[in-house]
Amino acid sequence: MSIGVIVLIVVAAVVVLGVAAMALRARGARGSRGLKRRFGPEYERAVARHDGDAKAAERELAQRVERHGGLRERALEPTEAERFEARWAAAQEHFVDAPREAVGEADRLLADLARARGFPDGAEYEEQLAALSVHHAGHVQGYRHIHRVAHAPGHGADTEEMREAMIEGRALFEELVAVSGRRPTVRS
C-alpha cells in the first residue's frame, strides 16, 4: 500500500469519526430540547431536585418515559366521566364548609380518575405521579399540590393554599375526565 492510500484512509477515518461525534452531540441536544418541551415545568423541577444537574434530571425523565411512555390511556365512558364530574362538583361545594376534607376528597378523586384512565394505582402515589408526568406534564403539579396539602401534618395549609391547590388540581382533572373531545361540565 502506498503512503498516499494510507493517508487517505486515515483522513477518511478522522472525517467519519468527526461526523459521528457531531451527530451524537446534536442528538443529545435534541434529546434535551425534546425533554424540555415534553415535560415543561416538570423538567425544571427535576433539574432543581438534582441540584442543577441537568444530565441527572434528563436521565430520570428519560427513565420515566421508558417506563410509562407506552402506557395507553383508557377513554372514560360518558357515564364514568359524569360520575367523576359529580364527585368533583361535590368536593368543590364541600370546600365552603370543610376545605380540608374537600382537598382530601379531591386528592382521592384524582388518584381514582388516573387509575380509571389506566395509570398506576393511586396507592403507589409516586409511580402514578411519574406516569402522569409523562402524559400530562403541564398539569401534574396540580395533583402534587393537592396531595401535599391533603397530607400535610396537623393543620399544615391555610384555606387560601387549599383553594389554590383545588384550582391548580382542577386543570389535571379536566384533562383526565375529557371523553372523546367532550369538555367536562364542572362548574366553577
Q: Residue 28: its pLDDT value, please?
A: 44
C-alpha cell at 72: 395507553
Alpha helices in 40-183 (DSSP H): 41-49, 54-68, 78-95, 99-116, 125-135, 140-150, 159-177
Model confidence pLDDT, tens digit, residues 86-105: 999 999 999 999 999 999 99
Question: Residue for cell digits 459521528?
Answer: 20
Look up the pTM and report it: 0.74
Query: Other C-beta atoms within 10 Å of 110: how many?
Result: 25
**pLDDT of 27 above 50:** no
Question: Given a cut of 50, is residue 25 above it in pLDDT?
Answer: no
pLDDT tens sequence across 120-148: 987 889 999 999 999 999 899 999 999 99
Tell me what pLDDT residue 29 has.
Answer: 37
Q: Where are the alpha helices (DSSP H) in 70-124?
A: 78-95, 99-116
Residue 12 has a pLDDT of 75
C-alpha cell recorded at residue 186 = 364542572
Q: Tens digits of per-residue pLDDT, 146-185?
A: 999 999 886 678 999 999 999 999 999 999 998 545 444 5
Residue 188 to residue 185: CA distance in whole angstroms: 10
Mean pLDDT of the chain: 84
